[in-house]
Amino acid sequence: MSILALASGAMLATSAFAAEAAPAEHEGVSLKPQVLFDFGNGFGITNSMLVTWIVALGIIIFAQIATRRIQPIPSGAQNFWEWLVEGLYSFLENIIGRDLVRKTFWFFATIFIFILFVNWFGLIPGVGTIGWGHEVNGDFHIDRPLFRGGNADLNMTTAMAVVFFALWLVWAIQANGIGGFLKHLFAPKGETHGFIKILMIVIFFMVGWLEIVSILFRPISLSFRLFGNIYAGESILEAMSTMVPASLAWLPPIPFYFMELLVGVVQALVFMLLTAVFTMLIAQHDHGPEHAH
């Protein structure tokens, strides 16, 4: 679970840009988290950080309980945990290969489980609706929620993407060496001779710089994809709850909760698969995942 500490640390560094309390008028879900505890010098704890810490602690405690006394015939928490971990391992092994999954499974499994439960935690009643506020026309308006969906905060998704990018560089160099890594980016592919070979060298050198741009944009696309989907879901739930009187605000969002449960799984799976495939392309570009069997 070390990725949880790394992502939380990166999130601390970016939380200085978190917004203060939202304006009095109802404007939906704020794009930025609210600072709950401000320690000065740009350091503070936001409501989305609090959610990620609660989820991380819950996952760690559950994993410890499930694996504290391993039984030959599992049941209860151990059975669920083994089913989840073994299912993820087999799934990834069929995609990226046996050798690579042994090295990287700790990251991909952790990132999937963490994103999944952070997404689902954001659907718990009270997240976004409990906190500090004031009355507006007889209704209580929340200005500063105590909890906010962790992945609806761009700081969090960016932190996870940056951690992956750093690990991707390490795994790429371990698999290819520095020379092999540069060769993978810039060296011409295929067997050519004479003028065609010179032309291919020039073309692949130019293509290599485009590949570098593509690689640098991967953390950006990963972070915005996850953030955008989760933030959009929370905005829909918020909008549905404001379409009726406050006493019935819980009713319209109910159908959308089931959709968001599915979205939570899909987005966790997409983030894990994209990071796994990006890693496979650089670490196994010569022999592919067919050697997994």
| Three-class HEC string of the chain | CHHHHHHHHHHHHHHHHCECCCCCCCCCCCCCCEEEEEEECCEEEEHHHHHHHHHHHHHHHHHHHHHHCCCCCCCHHHHHHHHHHHHHHHHHHHHHCHHHHHHHHHHHHHHHHHHHHHHHHCCCCCCCCCEEEEEECCEEEEEEECCCCHHHCHHHHHHHHHHHHHHHHHHHHHHHHHHHHHHHHHCCCCCCCHHHHHHHHHHHHHHHHHHHHHHHHHHHHHHHHHHHHHHHHHHHHHHHHCCCCHHHCCCCCHHHHHHHHHHHHHHHHHHHHHHHHHHHHHHCCCCCHHHHC
pLDDT value for 246: 67
Distance CA 44, CA 34 (A): 10
Number of other residues whose CB lies within 10 A of the CB of residue 286: 9
Measure CA 3 to chain center.
11
pLDDT value for 53: 95
Task: For residue 37, list its beta bridge partners.
Answer: 45
Amino acid at site 141? H
pLDDT value for 74: 75
Number of other residues whose CB lies within 10 A of the CB of residue 70: 9
pLDDT value for 59: 96
What are the 10-residue block averages of pLDDT along the chain, 293 residues in total? 48 41 53 86 87 96 90 83 94 93 95 96 84 71 83 94 95 90 80 74 85 92 94 86 72 84 95 95 61 43
pLDDT value for 138: 65
pLDDT value for 64: 93
Distance CA 19, CA 31 (A): 9
Q: Record the tokens describing residue 36, joined without a space.
A: 């709950």
Number of other residues whose CB lies within 10 A of the CB of residue 214: 10
Cβ-based neighbours of 290, under 8 Å, separated by 6 or more: 97
From residue 277, give the alpha-carbon distance in Å to each of 33, 95, 195, 225, 289: 31, 8, 35, 16, 10
Rounded CA Rg of the chain: 23
Question: What phi, psi does 140 have (nearest 5°)?
Answer: -85, 120
Phi-psi region at 32: left, alpha or beta (left = phi > 0; alpha = psi -120 to 50):
beta
Question: What phi, psi does 102 have (nearest 5°)?
Answer: -65, -35
